[in-house]
Amino acid sequence: MNLQFLSTAVADPPRFDLDAMVAQRSAALDPSLKGAFVAYDRAAANLDRLLTGQALCITTGQQPGLLTGPLYTVYKALSAVSLAHAAEEHIGRPVVPVFWVAGDDHDFAEVNHLHIVTVGNSLERITLRELEPAAPQRPMYREPVGDDIDHVLDILGRETPDTEYRPDILDWIQRHYHASADVASAFAGSLAELLGRFGLIVFQPTHQAAKQASSTWLFRALQDAVDLNRALETRARDLKQAGYPAPIAIGEEATTVMIEAELGRDRLVIDGNGFKTRRSGERWTMEQLREISQEEPQRLSANVLLRPVVEAALLPTLAYVGGPSEIAYLPQAEPLYNALGIKPQATVARWGARVVEGRIAKVLDKYDITPSELGEPEGQLESRLVRDQIPDDASRALGHLRKTLDEDYELLERAVADVDSTLQKPVQAAHHNALRSLADVEKRLISQLKKRNDTVVQQLEKARINLMPLGKAQERVLNAVPYLIRYGQAFIDLAYGSCAEWAGRLETGKSQT
């Protein structure tokens, strides 16, 4: 297959103290959680191992995305798969990969779209729909996919190649993304089916059983909210003083617990002896929140710092595989683990890659450039490549003029200094103006060469759209579906093979950080 994955692993090789994690982690799992898991193919056997206490797990997670979201979501899942396999080989007992779907997330503007490179090699944003700014901020497990999915599928049908794989891929999408599904469940089901043959289990913390199991920990976080706020502020300050990031804002009496209220999902804030929501201003006493945790646990959810703590309480997690931003903020959660008496899981930075198709590899080879060079400021790469095409006579003349200007103006500057030192600055200004004029001539020459070399500009733009869309890393923008339509399951197989090589270098000693 004329396709390759160029690894861009955030941490290479992966490393965590596996033996220490195994020693402190119980494999017991509440059997009532069974309904919260989604498992296809080989993952079904893994789920049985997890439920019967035979297996530990490697986890990762992400908020739902449209049609599985950006490529890095798939890479996260494959990272957990590959590390689970490597860990199992090391400890000689089952370790299964689990993907935690953050279906409580309420940022629909981040979830409602995807980007593809069309058959005409243009970048297209496909949007499910937009919501009014004043609309309630519903969590994604309450947000319907709706009939708008037909529009998304129509565009995919028009803008992707008609391959032997397309019918199966579109059928896979439609099995999960249909009008009556919610966004979180559609995402969970599609990812579980796509990667079930690798043993990936998908966990839905928004399932009633998971909500019930989580409510105990969420209510405890509310009971200790004052002390936890103080401890989190201290932790953030200590991290910053030690030179580490603390990117999650702390303070203003905000708790680590969210509640579904009049304006949708909202942050609970300490208000005297009770709590209120940050946006709607609704108020609850501690006793009222206790009743909600027992009778309507689906209304409560953890914020970004409490979420991994709840995960460690519910699942026998050895390590959580995260992206760069997660790895940066997870150390801030330490006081929550301590206060709730939960042993923290290790953290591992996920694997990442650039997908380089054969037609794009030819462009890189032709101009002897790397993918990262495509991220240079607009026009800079084209100018550098076109500069090599400046006629030899012009190139020699430009070089000669620069050298002559530098030498002669230097002589002139020394000469006028003997007459009047105040004349040096006007001479220096004239020198700079002369060089600037010469640079302007060269710039105009390059501009004309660019126009005469449209092929260079077009080919670089094609490569840029595929490897650095919107000026960002490919994995953060492009969706996997067009690749699956072009290459079928072989696309996933090749990605897994590259990821497995990375995970195979797992170092199981104590981390140095």
Residue 123 CB: number of other CB atoms within 10 A? 15
> Quick one: CA dihedral 386, 388, 392, 394, positive or negative?
positive
At residue 459, what are phi and psi to the nearest 5 degrees?
-70, -40
- Predicted pLDDT at 453: 67
Interatomic CA distance for residues 374 and 364, integer angstroms = 10
Higher pLDDT, 108 or 382: 108
pLDDT at residue 462 above 50? yes
Range of lowest pLDDT (68-72, 115-119, 198-202, 378-382) = 378-382
Q: Which of 90-94, 374-378, 395-399, 436-440 has the weakest average pLDDT?
A: 395-399
**How far apart, in whole angstroms, are the C-alpha atoms of residue 43 and residue 282?**
43
Continuous segment of H or E residues that includes residue 231:
helix 225-241
Q: What is the pLDDT of residue 377?
A: 83
Cβ atoms 457, 450 nearer than 8 A:
yes
Tokens found for residue 293: 């945790």
Model confidence at 387, pLDDT cuts 50, 70, 90, reads: low
Which tokens go with 350?
């996920």
DSSP for 187-229 reads HHHHHHHHHGGGT-EEE-TTSHHHHHHHHHHHHHHHHTHHHHH
Percentage of the chain lying above the pLDDT 70 cut: 95
Decide: helix, strand or coil at residue 57.
strand
**pLDDT tens across 271-309, in order?**
999 999 999 999 999 999 999 999 999 999 999 999 999
Q: Residue 304, SS3?
A: coil
pLDDT digits (tens, 9 = 90+) for 394-446: 667 777 788 888 888 888 888 878 888 887 888 888 888 888 888 887 777 76
* Rounded Cα–Cα distance for residues 434 and 410 (Å): 13
- Alpha-carbon distance 52 to 488, whole Å? 35
Taking the C-alpha atoms of residue 227 and residue 512, their distance in angstroms, rounded to an integer, is 30
pLDDT at 411: 86
Mean pLDDT of the chain: 92
Q: In terms of Cα–Cα distance, which of 107, 105, 104 is closest to 133?
A: 107
* Residue 243 binned pLDDT confidence (cut-offs 50, 70, 90): very high
CA distance 222 to 190: 35
How large is the average pLDDT for residues 334-354? 96
pTM: 0.88
**b/e per residue, 381-420, with b = 16+ CB within 10 A?**
bbbebbeeebeeeeeeebeebeeebeeebeebbeeeeeee
pLDDT of residue 56: 97
Q: In angstroms, how far is CA 272 from the centroid of its own chain?
A: 38
Give the torsion sign (CA, 205, 211, 216, 217): positive
Question: Tokens 């301590």 — which residue?
Answer: 338
pLDDT in tens, 448-458: 666 656 788 88
Task: DSSP for 149-172, please give it.
Answer: HHHHHHHHHHHS---TTHHHHHHH
The Cβ-side half-sphere exposure at 382, using a 13 Å CA radius, reads: 23
Question: And the tokens for 258?
Answer: 């969210």
CA-angle at 52, arms to 47 and 56, nearest 5° = 65
User: Residue 140, by phi and psi: left (phi above 0), alpha (psi -120 to 50) or beta?
Assistant: alpha
CA distance 199 to 194: 10
Quick check: helix, strand or coil at residue 143? coil
144 sits in which H/E element: none
Strands 201-203 and 95-101: parallel
Using CB atoms within 10 A of its CB, is residue 433 exposed (0-12), middle (13-18) or buried (19+)?
Answer: exposed
Mean pLDDT for the stretch of residues 18-30: 90
Residue 132's Cβ-side half-sphere holds a number of Cα atoms within 13 Å equal to 4
How far is residue 246's CA from residue 230's CA, in Å, rounded to a whole number? Answer: 15
- Distance, in Å, from the CA atom of 57 to the CA atom of 97, rounded to the nearest integer, reads 6
| Closest C-alpha to 43, from 12, 87, 80, 6 | 80
Is pLDDT of 512 > 50?
Answer: no
